[in-house]
């Protein structure tokens, strides 16, 4: 069975895409109250006490589904909706890259496998080494003062 790796473990591509998109929302918008990750499943968001949704409503964060994407974006302004979508699509791309790379080069002994870390796709690396990655564009790097 093909799997994609997230920092929490290995998932089938379909579950990986739902999981990582829900986690993108969680990581990017921790102060949002309308939707929260539906623990322990993690592959969906659950509505809290909000006028936008019925309390307890579950939303499976399928970024390829325009209806779902619009539902989630109802809780965000246009700028933040774009950031959330970019994060979700980066995770999908990471999964696709992992699957493609595994077909040609299996994980080598002594190496850590490619992993989606919650914000970025980290390539395979020799154990004990440190990886430095650039900050993706959907991470808001503005200071709290907007500078």
Q: How many residues are present in the chain?
A: 147
**Percentage of the chain with pLDDT > 70?**
95
The DSSP element (H or E) to which 126 belongs, if any, is: strand 125-126
Closest-CA residue to 19 (of 60, 54, 50, 55): 60
Highest mean pLDDT among 28-42, 73-87, 100-114: 73-87
| pLDDT score, position 144 | 54
The C-alpha R_g of the chain, in whole angstroms, comes to: 16
| pLDDT score, position 147 | 46
Q: Can you state the angle between helices 78-104 and 13-28, rounded to 10 degrees?
A: 140
Q: Is residue 55 predicted with pLDDT exceeding 50?
A: yes
| pLDDT score, position 106 | 73
The whole model's pTM is what? 0.89
Taking residues 60-65, what's their average pLDDT? 94
């Amino acid at each position: 069975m093909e799997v994609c790796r997230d920092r929490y473990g290995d998932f089938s591509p379909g579950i990986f895409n739902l999981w990582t998109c829900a986690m993108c929302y969680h990581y990017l918008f921790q102060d949002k109250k309308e939707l929260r990750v539906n623990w322990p499943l993690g592959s969906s968001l659950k509505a809290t006490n909000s006028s936008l949704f019925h309390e307890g409503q579950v939303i499976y964060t399928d970024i390829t589904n325009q209806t779902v994407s619009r539902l989630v974006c109802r809780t965000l302004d246009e700028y933040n909706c774009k950031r959330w979508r970019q994060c979700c699509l980066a995770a999908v791309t990471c999964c696709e890259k992992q699957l493609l790379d595994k077909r040609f080069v299996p994980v080598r002994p002594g190496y850590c496998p490619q992993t989606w870390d919650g914000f970025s796709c980290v390539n395979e690396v020799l154990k004990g080494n440190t990886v430095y990655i650039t900050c993706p564009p959907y991470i808001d790097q503005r200071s709290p003062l907007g500078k």
